[in-house]
Amino acid sequence: MMETPTKRLLEKLPDARSVLVVCAHPDDESFGLGAALATLGESGSSTAVLCFTHGEASTLGSDSSDLGRVRAGELAAAASELGVGYVELLEYGDGRLAEGRMDELTGSIRRAAERAMVDLLLVFDEGGITGHPDHCRATEAGITAARELDLPVLAWALPRRVTDVLNSEFSAGFVGRRDDELDYFVTVERTRQRRAIDQHTSQATDNPVLSRRLELQGDREVFRWLSRPREATMCQ
């Protein structure tokens, strides 16, 4: 069980007409944000995904002759399972997103946000959840673009009770949050997320860290504001 929060955590995600996920790799939208995307869609929000790389540098599924193409197809199939209305997959190099100019990255986000008429950005938490530099850069770009667009930014996070176990068992670098750093503690139903994960065959097969994380999380997801909404910007 999660420890008793030191402040009241909201139990329902914020209402939004349209949500844009900004992520680094195909599978981030499912492995990390799948439950949130499904929950938002089922509550009436339209959803879109902007993914910066094809994930071609992954060591999982590396026996494929064209892993980037394979993962692009997996992303499309997973997004369909999650009810995502619009997906844009860009051509930045996997593992080299930090080399991309910030104005170019934010420009892509701005155009996608304007096209989808979004009023909320959803990203990985600062620290990239796993510490991956591409994750960190995608979140940084999301925050920068949101500031220019005057949009709120909500981050998917992990509680320390989960990351402490993962880091101990897998010698990993997951970044966790104390309860007093969190804003939302949401009960989710993972059926659609798990169906989306199954579409990422190249990455989900033989992935014990993912399986263990989902086991530790159970039916709970936590989130924190990186840029809070002005009162008039969100649907009530």
Task: Convert the pLDDT of each residue in 201-227 to its tens digit.
Answer: 999 998 999 999 999 999 999 999 999
Query: What pLDDT is recorded for position 7?
Result: 59
Query: What pLDDT is recorded for position 204?
Result: 95
Query: What pLDDT is recorded for position 235?
Result: 46
Cα–Cα distance list, 21 to 47, 87, 98, 132, 145 (Å):
8, 9, 19, 17, 13
Q: Exposed, middle or buried: residue 150 (CB in 10 Å: 0-12, 13-18, 19+)? A: exposed
What the block records as the tokens of 195 is 């169906």
Angle at 200 between CA 223 and CA 21, to 5 degrees: 35
Query: What pLDDT is recorded for position 229?
Result: 87
Hey, is 49 helix, strand or coil? strand
Query: What is the per-residue pLDDT across 115-170, written as a single tens digit (0 to 9) for each?
Result: 999 999 999 999 999 999 999 999 999 999 999 999 999 999 999 999 999 999 99
- Given 2.60.40.10, 3.40.50.970, 3.40.50.10320, 3.40.50.720, which CATH number is that of 18-57+66-227? 3.40.50.10320
What the block records as the tokens of 59 is 């060591």
Amino acid at the residue 6: T
- Average pLDDT, integer, range 37-41: 97
- Average pLDDT, integer, range 11-40: 97
Q: Which residues, other chains included, contact 160 with Cβ-Cβ below 8 Å and sequence gap of 6+?
A: 176, 177, 178
What the block records as the tokens of 33 is 């944000």
**Closest CA relative to residue 20, chosen from 39, 41, 1, 47:** 47
Contact (Cβ atoms closer than 8 angstroms) between residue 61 and residue 35: no
Q: Which residues in the chain belong to E strands, given as ranges?
A: 18-23, 46-53, 86-92, 120-124, 153-157, 184-187, 220-227
Q: 């950005």: which residue's tokens?
A: 121
Query: What is the per-residue pLDDT across 47-102, written as a single tens digit (0 to 9) for each?
Result: 999 999 999 999 888 777 899 999 999 999 999 999 999 999 999 999 999 999 99
What is the pTM assigned to this prediction?
Answer: 0.92
Query: What pLDDT is recorded for position 8?
Result: 64
Query: What pLDDT is recorded for position 2?
Result: 44
* Concatenated DSSP letters of 151-187: --EEEEE-BHHHHHHHHHHH------B-GGG--EEEE
